[in-house]
Structure 1
Amino acid sequence: MLNNEMMKHLKIKNPIIQAPMAGGITTSNLVAEVSNNGGLGMIGAGYHTPIQSREQIREIKQLTSNPFGINLFVPNEFNVTPEAVQSANQLLHTIRKQLNLEQTDSFDIPEHNKIFESFIEQVNVVIEENVSICSFTFGIPPKEVMDKLKQHNITLIGTATTVREAVENEKAGMDMVVIQGSEAGGHRGNFIDGHQESLVGLMSLIPQVVDNVSIPVIAAGGIMDGRGLMASLFLGAQGVQMGTAFLTCIESGAHKVHKEAIFNAGEDQTTFTRAFSGKWARGIKNKFIADMLEHEMVVPDFPIQNLLTQVIRKTCSGQNNQDFMSLWVGQSPRLAKSQTVEILIKNTLAEAENINKQSFSPK
């Protein structure tokens, strides 16, 4: 079970992929260590400029000779009026005041065309720097982008939250698909189905997707150890993508306050919010989420709200103040540990092998 089509295609020894968490968590050291230990390290380049992506790719190549990948956010159309931005700014006014931040009424709404141009530049960086694996979140890139990457033999991995989205990924030409269960931390990857419709538990989602697509399926959402790995493989997935488990590793770039919040959280302390970014995401409940609860349906869509809250989040990180930080986490925080990537992967594989032996050994 621990040797399959996905592993051969990605040229990895172990069926473990490190989730491409954007925002500084996927340091070069984290990505390289995952790849050096037989998994697939992934750069979370969702908020990178093309220059930042190029620099990190080159840095990682100095740290590992094994394959690693990069993840890009697919730009979506958004309709935001200056009035909506002004209204959102007013909602954030009180929080800025508490933090002694300068109030700002002026905000330049970014153009979708400019965001898409940056995305295309990112794609060109992936090709020019010979990164062999590229995954996508928030949708499927246009056909010309898919074709261009395929011409350079780059393995393409999509993200889906329902069977319908997984089928669309296969139709579009993805080589494999990450299916994100409702247990997953951080932003939801849904792009066809609505937020509520996309909240399918991973153990229900895996076999249904496997029965409806022919490309390898990678399971994501709440997987922290060998038990989650083997459960996913038994249900038909060919690998797992782990986020929170790597987020709390020594090599992760997650803020110490973020890590500590996870170590002190229970499975009932996470919730979904769109107050931070304008897109639904799972994180630990805190003051910001509570304060914005009654307003979160009217905040501007991603990426506008994400830009409006950026200074608040950054300031609170500098002050070690978790009240207004986005503390993304999956539904298994009690299983999180402070450990090295090497130990996490070794222990996960040892536990998986033990389960495998017990399951198939003669009684």
Structure 2
Amino acid sequence: MTEKVARFETALTRLLGCRHPIISAGMGGPARAELVSAVSNAGGFGLLGMVREPPDVIEREIAAVRAATDRPFGVNLIPAGTEPRLLAAELDVCLSAHVPAMCFFWDVFPEVVARAKNAGAIVLYQVGSLQDAIAAEKAGADVVIAQGIEAGGHVRGRTGILTLLPEIARCLHVPVVASGGFATGGGLIAALALGASGIHCGTVFLPTHESFAHDYHKQRIVEAQAGDTVHTDVYAINWPPGAPVRVLANSVTREAGDHLFGNNPYLLPREVIAQEPDYPIYKFSTNSPLRTTTGDLEKMALFAGESSALVDKRTSAAEVIDRLLNEAIEASTRISPASG
């Protein structure tokens, strides 16, 4: 373990106080306290996915993380996708709890960055373009996460990460993290070689034992092959217009045919297809199936990145991190084999 820590210490690990340059994405729904604490305990950096969650839920999840680990972690919120009063209340809870780090996504909101930093939190901002990366750094973000089009869930990126990452890394002065398509240790080495200080992974952690995703969603990812994901905005309810996602192909994406884009969330029909204990889930909603979901799960948003083709088993989060590190060491050895 000492070799792994020494080999992959970066500006990101030093800033965040984690051992390994691996961040688990703040996936709304699956990334709850159990997953976040497992990732942080294993030396990565876990992010709670608390998008549009009530303040009392966020308070409970933060407390649960702290009960399970003394390692640093963060909370992911999406200002552009959250009603302003709810966002303010969410921030109140996070900052009152002195969460070590806040991660934000989509449009850059300088006032939100300022509020988090004034409260002493490290700020990570996930973006999909050089323009937004520069805006995030200018707003005061301590870390910029560059998201390529390969990523699962909501996709801000419009270009591949192999182009976007070096474009951003050469222009910024803060640590840059690569997101989209990373599920192997070789990918970690590639990201570091292209100027990243670490990787931000969602798909590889979604099928883990600690993830709050439904078993159906986990199994679909494990079974996925290259080409099984779809980039579309057909899953639009709950988000502003023009917010594409990457999901596993299903009956809904097939039914959409040539209309994978241009779907207005305010005009889509409200047909109930599934149920959470406290609310119904509509067809075309951005809700993904969780442990507590019942109903027609096949029609729901089965978020997955292109890296799902590289995920072939369900393990613990700690095993994922250990595999990534071992593969990274093997990959670096292949590039620079020890002299005989």
TM over 0.5: yes
For 2:23, what is the secondary structure of its paired residue?
strand
Whichever structure has more strand as a proportion of its residues is 2
The alpha carbon displacement at 1:205 in A equals: 1.4
1:117 aligns with 85
The alpha carbon displacement at 1:31 in A equals: 0.5
Q: 1:148-297 counterparts in 2 under 5 A?
A: 148-189=115-156, 198-277=157-236, 278=241, 279-294=243-258, 297=261
Q: 1:69-108 counterparts in 2 under 5 A?
A: 69-75=74-80
The TM-score normalised by the length of structure 2 is: 0.86
Mapped pair 1:357 → 2:333: yes
Mapped pair 1:140 → 2:108: yes
Relative to structure 2, which stretch is displaced further, 311-320 or 30-39?
311-320
Taking a change above 3 Å as real, the CA distance of residues 315 and 34 of structure 1, as seen in their structure-2 partners, is closer
**Separation in 1 of the partners of 2:310 and 2:108?**
32
The alpha carbon displacement at 1:334 in A equals: 2.4
1:12 aligns with 18
The alpha carbon displacement at 1:354 in A equals: 2.3
* Counterpart selection for 1:3 from 9, 13, 19: 9
8 Å CA contact 1:257–1:320 kept in 2: the answer is no
2:278 aligns with none
Task: State, as a whole percentage, how many aligned pairs show the same letter.
Answer: 28
CA RMSD of aligned residues (A): 2.3
Taking a change above 3 Å as real, the CA distance of residues 148 and 27 of structure 1, as seen in their structure-2 partners, is closer
* Counterpart selection for 2:58 from 53, 69, 75: 53
- 1:217-251 per-position Cα deviation (integer Å, ceiling 9, x unaligned): 00011100111111101111000011110001111
**Separation in 1 of the partners of 2:23 and 2:126?**
13
**Separation in 1 of the partners of 2:288 and 2:137?**
42
1:26 aligns with 31
1:86 aligns with none
The alpha carbon displacement at 1:301 in A equals: 4.2
The alpha carbon displacement at 1:253 in A equals: 1.0
Aligned length: 315
Larger gyration radius, structure 1 or structure 2:
1
Q: 1:339-358 counterparts in 2 under 5 A?
A: 339-358=315-334
**Separation in 1 of the partners of 2:201 and 2:96?**
28
2:282 aligns with 311
8 Å CA contact 1:75–1:119 kept in 2: the answer is no
8 Å CA contact 1:70–1:133 kept in 2: the answer is yes
- 1:132-171 per-position Cα deviation (integer Å, ceiling 9, x unaligned): 100101112242x322221222100111112222111111
The TM-score normalised by the length of structure 1 is: 0.81
Gapped regions of structure 2 (runs ≥ 5): 1-6, 273-280
